[in-house]
Structure 1
């Protein structure tokens, strides 16, 4: 039960973080971006879940948990290094941040496949992820309106993810 709760907290944090990072560019967030991210999350996690079903005896769950945390930390570092003040965190020329995010989604799905969580869990978590994306956009817009003078405020979602990733390692 504790393991599933940490997975759900991590998914909500990933959703809130990505939603917050989408607010960083000068353009407004479009609903198509949120739908596309949710579809990519669902597809990659489902693909990872199917892969994890076949890796049951080959890989340790704790090793995969640490691998997810390391990829999340690499995502944080890559996002901080590749941030552009006008284009934000996900700009068209940068493939590294998007690739790390896709790898993170896939590894999360593999983790679910190893602990035998199936299709209904993936669909439930995808709805939870979509709600967390919307919540992250809302929270970051509110923070940006209050602290509009500070340029480093765009990095606050990464602090949330860093905190939860370190908690996942413990």
Structure 2
């Protein structure tokens, strides 16, 4: 039962972070980002889950935890490097999109290794979409409270870094 809790907690953290980062994008409205990210999450996590279910997996849960944490650190570094004060975050920049795709794929591989199937992936997509929506609302309202735009832009990544370090434990 604790594995399910850890997975849901991490999916919610990713959703809140991506929702927060989408409020700092100047090119696309957040609702478009919400829809694109939800389909992106569903597609790559479902492929990872399917690959793990149809193939023999030699790797365990902890191995995929480490790979997911490495992808998360790469994502945080890439997002910090892509931030521009005038344009915000570049979430759909090619290297960042590939890092996100690999992160979602390895999450799906982990779920498939545990034996979770299609219903679990669709449920996690629902949780992810809800978390992105809540992240958009939360960080959009936070922009009114925090006067420094740089501090407000780093808060989603700092919270995701904390959750990523907790996932290693």
Above 0.5 in TM-score?
A: yes
Specify the alignment match of 1:120 in structure 2: 119
Specify the alignment match of 2:42 in structure 1: 42
The question of whether the paired residues in 2 share the 8 Å contact of 1:25 and 1:85 is answered with no
Alpha-carbon distance, 1:14 to partner: 0.1
Counterpart mapping for 1:16-165 below 5 A: 16-26=16-26, 29-90=29-90, 94-165=93-164
Tell me which stretches of 4 or more aligned residues in structure 1 moved more than 6 Å. none
Matched, 1:13 2:6: no
The question of whether the paired residues in 1 share the 8 Å contact of 2:16 and 2:134 is answered with yes
Change (3 A) 1:34 1:91: closer
Change (3 A) 1:154 1:58: same
Two-structure CA RMSD over aligned residues (Å): 1.6
How many pairs align? 169
CA-to-partner distance for each residue in 1:70-114, whole Å, 9 max, x for gaps?
A: 11011111111121122222266x311111111101100000000
TM-score by length of 1: 0.93
Higher helix share: 2
The question of whether the paired residues in 2 share the 8 Å contact of 1:25 and 1:86 is answered with no
TM-score by length of 2: 0.93
Alpha-carbon distance, 1:55 to partner: 4.2
Which is further off, 20-29 or 117-126?
20-29
